[in-house]
Amino acid sequence: MDAVRPGRGDPSLVTMEVGLILKVAGVGLLVSVATQILNKSGRDEQATLVTIAGIVVVLLMLVEQIGELFSLVYATFGF
């Protein structure tokens, strides 16, 4: 029996990964547009804060995935 690799055999995993990539891309697009608008209007400090907030939002979205990665590494190497 072949082992099912994540993202290969289970269509729900592929959909989740694509959805996560699209969410991150959407946040990046919104942050970049907001940053450009704020920079053009001379509000550089607010543009920097919007960029930092975007990074924090993306990291919060990825926390669960990073946790799963660490669990997989621990299980693989037997820690």
Residue 71 in any domain: the answer is yes
In a domain, 47, yes or no: yes
Identify the pLDDT of residue 2.
46
Domain that holds residue 61: 35-79
Cα–Cα nearest to 20, from 79, 53, 66: 66
pLDDT of residue 68: 87
In a domain, 18, yes or no: no
Q: Which residue has the higher pLDDT, 68 or 16?
A: 68
Per-residue pLDDT at 20: 87
End-to-end alpha-carbon separation of the chain, Å?
Answer: 27
Q: Is residue 7 part of a domain?
A: no
pLDDT at 11: 59
Residue 41 counted as domain residue: yes
Q: What's the CA gap between 12 and 5, in Å, rounded?
A: 12
Convert the pLDDT of each residue in 7-65 to its tens digit. 455 555 556 678 889 999 999 999 999 999 999 999 999 999 999 999 999 999 999 88
Residue 76 is assigned to a structural domain of this protein: yes
Residue 24 lies in a domain: no
Count of domains observed in the chain: 1
CA–CA separation, 11 and 9 (whole Å): 6
Closest CA to 50 of 36, 60, 61: 36
